[in-house]
A and B are shown apart, each in its own frame.
Chain A
Amino acid sequence: MINYIIRRLLGIIPLLLGITIISFAIIHLAPGKPVTLQQSLNPKVSLEVRARLERLYGLDKPLHLQYINWLKRLVRLDFGRSFSDDRLVLDKILERLPVTLIINISALIFIFIVAIPIGVKSAVNPDGLFDKVMTIVVFIGFALPTFWLALLLMNLLGIKLGWLPISGIKSLDFEYFSLGQKILDLARHLVLPVFVSGLGGLAGISRYMRSSMIEALNQPYISTARAKGLPKRQVVYKHALRNAILPIVTIMGLSIPGLLGGSVIFESIFALPGIGRLFYEAVMMRDYPLIMAEVVLGAVLVMLGNLIADISYAYVDPRIRYKK
Chain B
Amino acid sequence: MFFRLKLPIFWVAFLFLGAFVLSFAQDYGDAIVSGSIADARTLVPILASDSASADICGVVFNGLVKYDKDINLAPDLAESWEIKEDGLVIIFHLKKNVLWHDGHPFTSHDVEFTYKKLIDPNVKTPYSGDFERIKSLEVLDDYTIKITYKEPFAPALSSWGMPIIPKHLLEKEDLNNTKFTRHPIGTGPYKFKSWKTQEKIELVSNHNYFEKRPYIDRCIYRIIPDESTIFLELQTQGLDSAGLSPLQFIRQTDSEFFKKYYRKFILTSFGYTYLGYNLNDPKFKDKRVRQALNYAVDKQEIINMVLLGLGKVATGPFMPESWGYNKEVIPVDFNPQKARELLKEAGWQDSNHDGWLDRRGENFEFTILVNQGNEERLKVAQIIQRRLNDVGIRVKIKVLEWSVFLTEFIDKKNFEAVLLGWSLGRDPDNYDIWHSSKTKEGEFNFIGYKNDEVDRLLVEARRIFDQEKRKAYYQRIHSIIYDEQPYMFLYIPDILSILHSRFQGIKPAPIGISYNFIDWWVPRGQQRYTRMTDR
Contacts and interface: CB of A to CB of B under 8 A. Distances in A.
Interface in A258-272: 267-271
Interface stretch (A66-74, A83-91, A204-212): A83-91
B130 A84 contact: no
B232 A166 contact: yes
Interface in B79-128: 121-122, 124-128
A154 B532 CA distance: 26
Contacts of B127: 44-45
Interface in B11-43: 33, 41-42
A50 B42 contact: no
Interface string A28-67: 0011110011111111111111101100100000000000
B235 A49 contact: no
A31 B232 contact: no
A43 B33 CA distance: 31
A158 interface: yes
B33 A172 contact: yes
A104 B76 CA distance: 50
B196 interface: yes
Interface stretch (B399-407, B477-485, B516-524): B399-407
A33 B222 CA distance: 30
A40 B406 contact: yes
A167 B199 contact: no
B198 A166 contact: no
B176 A42 contact: no
B193 to A, nearest CB: 10
Instruction: Please indicate which of the listed interface residues A32, A38, A52, A172 has the most CB atoms of chain B within 10 Å of its own CB.
Output: A172
B179 to A, nearest CB: 10
Contacts of B444: 41, 43
Given A84-B41, A154-B232, A173 B49 contact: no
Contacts of B126: 38-39, 42, 44-45, 49-50, 53
Contacts of B306: none
A149 to B, nearest CB: 13
Interface stretch (B223-231, B296-304, B380-388): B223-231
A173 B531 contact: yes
Interface in B407-465: 407-408, 411, 420, 422, 424-425, 430, 432-433, 440-444
B197 A95 contact: yes
Interface in B506-534: 529, 531-532
Given A45-B126, A86-B176, A173-B529, A159 B236 contact: yes
B532 A176 contact: yes
B236 A47 contact: no
A89 to B, nearest CB: 12
A32 B406 contact: yes
A271 B229 contact: yes
A47 B124 contact: no
A8 to B, nearest CB: 36
B129 A167 contact: no
A36 B124 contact: no
A269 B121 contact: no
B49 A85 contact: no
B407 A36 contact: yes
Contacts of B531: 173, 176
A270 B442 contact: no
Contacts of B224: 167-168, 271
B220 interface: yes
A170 B202 CA distance: 14
Interface in A123-159: 151, 154-155, 158-159
Given A167-B229, A173-B529, A81 B407 contact: no
Given A33-B403, A271-B226, A172 B200 contact: yes
A273 interface: yes
B365 interface: no
Interface in B335-351: none
A165 B222 CA distance: 14
B121 A273 contact: no
A151 B404 contact: no
Contacts of A284: 401-403
Q: How big is chain B's contact interface, by range?
A: 35 or more
Given A36-B407, A43-B430, A86-B124, A269 B229 contact: yes
Contacts of A176: 531-532
A52 B224 CA distance: 33
A36 B224 CA distance: 25
Nearest to A265: B226
B322 interface: no
A31 B407 contact: yes
B233 interface: yes
A162 interface: yes
A277 interface: yes
Contact of B228 (A45, A269, A286): A269
A138 to B, nearest CB: 27
A167 B228 CA distance: 11
Given A44-B129, A168-B199, A271-B224, A56 B124 contact: yes
A277 B39 CA distance: 11
A69 B421 CA distance: 39
Contact of A172 (B422, B424, B529): B529
A167 B232 contact: yes
Contacts of A48: 129
Nearest to A37: B403
A290 to B, nearest CB: 13
A159 to B, nearest CB: 5
B122 A273 contact: no
Given A32-B406, A86-B176, A96-B197, A154 B229 contact: yes
Interface in A270-308: 270-271, 273, 277-278, 284-286
Contacts of B233: 166-167
Given A44-B126, A50-B442, A271-B226, A158 B406 contact: no
Contact of A41 (B41, B223, B236, B406): B406
Closest 6 CB pairs of A and B: A32-B403, A273-B198, A45-B126, A268-B225, A271-B224, A85-B41
19 contacts: A32-B403, A32-B406, A36-B407, A41-B444, A43-B430, A44-B425, A46-B128, A46-B443, A49-B129, A53-B126, A85-B42, A86-B176, A86-B181, A154-B232, A166-B229, A173-B532, A271-B224, A271-B225, A284-B402
Interface of A: 30-33, 36-50, 52-53, 56, 81, 84-87, 92, 95-96, 151, 154-155, 158-159, 162, 165-170, 172-173, 176, 267-271, 273, 277-278, 284-286
Given A32-B406, A46-B432, 7 more contacts: A32-B407, A36-B411, A43-B430, A86-B181, A167-B233, A172-B532, A284-B401
